Structure 1
Amino acid sequence: MVDASAAGSPAEPATVPVWDRFVRVFHWSVVAGCAANSFALEGGKLPHEIVGYAVAALVAARLVWGFVGTRHARFVDFVPGPATLAAHLKALLQGREPRTRGHNPAAAVMILALMAVLAVLGVTGWMTTLDAFWGAEWLEETHELLADALQLMVLVHAAAAVLESLRHRENLVLAMITGRKRP
């Protein structure tokens, strides 16, 4: 049940759906998988590989969902063109970026970059299991470098979510759990 009084007018709901269940499950499953592979599971061992393949499968499914999913899950809804991104970054630097219901242009670029790194991590991880690349140090180093880059990107992503939550007085972490934001 939605508390309409909290939104300021009886006709306006307190929150509206933004991120569907698939997007939220994808997000938190990738978080869990990356945390497990980064901090709990030993690289090169079967559990690490299984989790890596699961994350790669999630990324593949999310790419499909980006074309056929609900409104705010679709890339066309949130992936910006260069001019839109430049205008958003300029407004952000001036402290005047507008609040967005879905992902803002900078977040959209980060999401695409995170998915790209995850995809390449999956490919390089898989390649390390092939006879053709067995023991190839350059490949293992590339995989590790990408894993380190991913951790840095995740820190930036999380910090940006916290800062945007504070600036716009909206708990984005909670929104990624409930799927709802204020209108």
Structure 2
Amino acid sequence: MEMKSPERIYVWDIFVRVFHWTLVICVFLNFWVTEEGDTPHEVLGYIAAGFVVARLFWGFFGSPYARFKIWLASPKSIFSYLRNFKTRKTYQSHNPIAGWMIIFLMSCIIGLAVSGFMMGTDKYFGEEWVEELHHWISDILMGAVAIHIIGALYESRHEKQNLVAGMVHGYKNKVD
């Protein structure tokens, strides 16, 4: 008996993939490599924020699977997903929790950009609460990134496909 390979569908367009991997690089470098307050740290932070702003635009006007209306779920959908977690369905794009995780991650990037900008202004330069806020958001972002990675690996296993590779080539198995 011949095994039929699943039909693949193009889900993540080039902009979404470039956005994703650009944020991965910016966040990694800013958390682990660059020095706080140095020009490379600031530039990477603004690049990340710029990509988030562009992604927000793309969420309304981009390709079908990039649009928020496709993957931002209502609270009712999230609770249903959690209630039926063991028998949950597979989604063509992001599942209800993953969609909101993406919004949370992007919000953290914007929060870091705003607090980082504030630290460089005359009004807030040297203000301890702004620096603490920036560090706090950074730590929350890194925790959320860890959860995001674990979730992507877990869902890869559940869906029996490599979602990380999908974010490289753009394809995902078609969901019936």
Q: TM-score, normalised by structure 2?
A: 0.95
Shift of 1:149: 0.5
Tell me which residue corresponds to 2:25: 32
Query: Which residue identity lines up with residue 172 of structure 2 in the other structure?
Result: K
CA drift at 1:96: 1.1
- Displacement of 1:167 in angstroms is 1.4
User: What corresponds to 2:109 in structure 1?
Assistant: 118
Aligned to 2:129: 138
Aligned residues: 171
What is residue 150 of structure 1 aligned with on the other side? 141
Other-structure match for 1:70:
63
Q: Deviations over 1:17-42 (max 9, x none)?
A: 00100000000000000000000000
Give the one of 74, 90, 100 matched to 2:91: 100
Q: Considering only aligned residues, what root-mean-square deviation do their CA atoms show, in Å? A: 0.8
Aligned counterpart, 1:6: 5
Distance in 1 (CA, whole Å) between partners of 2:107 and 2:87 is 29
Mapped pair 1:51 → 2:44:
yes
Q: Does 1:173 align with 2:164?
A: yes
Q: Which amino acid aligns with 1:6?
A: S
SS in 2 for 1:121: helix
> C-alpha offsets along residues 30-56 of structure 1, whole Å, 9 cap, x if unaligned?
000000000000001111000000000
The code of the aligned residue for 2:111 comes to: V
Deviation at 1:6, TM superposition (A): 2.2
Greater RCO (Cα-Cα under 8 Å, separation 6 or more): 2
% of aligned pairs identical? 38
For residues 163 and 60 of structure 1, the distance between their equivalents in structure 2, rounded to whole angstroms, comes to 29
CA positional deviation for 1:168: 1.5
* Secondary structure class of the residue paired with 2:161: coil
**Hey, what's the Cα distance between the residues in 1 that align with 2:90 and 2:170?**
16
Structure 1 length-normalised TM:
0.92
Show structure 2 runs of 5+ residues with no match. Answer: none
Gaps of 5+ in 1: 8-13
